[in-house]
Amino acid sequence: MRAVFGLVLIIGLGLAGFAVYTVKGYLDTQQRALANERAAAASRVPTVEIYAVTRTMEFGERLSPEDVRLIPYPAPFLPEGVFRTAEELFPDGSDSLRMVARQMEPNEPVLAAKVTEPGADAGITTRLQPGMRAFAISVDVASGVSGFLRPGDRVDVFWTGSIARSVSGGGREVTKLIETGLRLVAVDQTADTGRSQAAVARTVTVEANPQQVAALAQAAATGKLSLALVGYSDETVAVAVEVDQRSLLGIVEEEIPVEEAPPPPMEEEVCTIRTRRGSEVVEIPIPCPS
């Protein structure tokens, strides 16, 4: 009997120890999970709710309340021009809606720079920076980079024309870089930056300041303009470029020596004497004294 009680006691002590070990492990796991949660909560970035689009919005579409929803956004990284309330985004309700000025993808925040003012049209005036002007340039398949130009691209402008050698006439044909890194705001009659298909344009509209507009207008009136597409991430500054036929072919122009004109002949000295003959005075040449 004593052996049975001893065996039961040993088994009970074993079960009790196992239970204590199991409970201790559970408590340790819970404490670690709680500590991790507290650490995550301490490092969690605060968020605010802002409006974002629910679908792909193309240029020129009207933005209605059905096209937006509130999403959480990290407060420290909040971009400029967001809308946090319906009154900010739709101040006049559905009577005066905004239009999309730049393409937006689903869940992309609605920014003031990507939509027009309430009731305004999504023309190129919404794409111009303060102090800038829109200037149209006529192009063809060659000067327009084979139709691969899109609104938002940057281009260099080259001028080809004749430069007079002197006022009397004559000249030489040159091609010169006159403007660099001009931003396109429209191609033909579209300002949609989401345009992906290549199309040969007849005109492109660039963004330029008044001084550049004057230079482009003068260049277009006196020669031909051609465009060169600048790479998306190209930040190099183009240097002055001017090429004529002689420099293109490597011809060195020889200077023609200018012959000096001979001095004018010296006039021979003539000596005379005056003699009165009656009422007349006559000059008679005589040899000049040496």
pLDDT at site 51: 95
Tell me which of 33 and 107 has the higher pLDDT.
107
pLDDT at site 56: 93
pLDDT at site 32: 81
Tell me which of 229 and 60 has the higher pLDDT.
229
91 with 118: CB under 8 angstroms?
yes
**Mean pLDDT computed over 124-134:** 82
Tell me which of 245 and 230 has the higher pLDDT.
230
213 pLDDT higher than 90: yes
255 pLDDT higher than 80: no
Q: What percent of the chain has pLDDT over 70?
A: 77
267 pLDDT higher than 80: no
pLDDT averaged over every residue in the chain: 80
Measured distance between the N- and C-terminal CA atoms of the chain, rounded to whole angstroms: 176
Distance CA 54, CA 210 (A): 40
**Mean pLDDT computed over 273-277:** 71
Distance CA 101, CA 59 (A): 5
**Mean pLDDT computed over 37-61:** 83
Tell me which of 165 and 113 has the higher pLDDT.
113
170 pLDDT higher than 90: no
The winner for highest mean pLDDT among 16-30, 53-67, 165-179 is: 53-67
| Helix, strand, coil percent content, the chain, rounded in steps of 5 | 30, 30, 40
Phi, psi (rounded to 5 degrees) for 119? 85, -5
**Mean pLDDT computed over 247-275:** 68
pLDDT at site 168: 46
Question: pLDDT digits over 72-124, tens only?
Answer: 999 888 999 999 999 999 988 777 788 888 889 999 999 998 998 887 777 77
User: Residue 93 has what DSSP assignment?
Assistant: G
**Of 93-97, 252-256, 284-288, which gets the smallest average pLDDT?**
252-256
The residues pairing with 228 across neighbouring beta strands, listed in sequence order, are 156
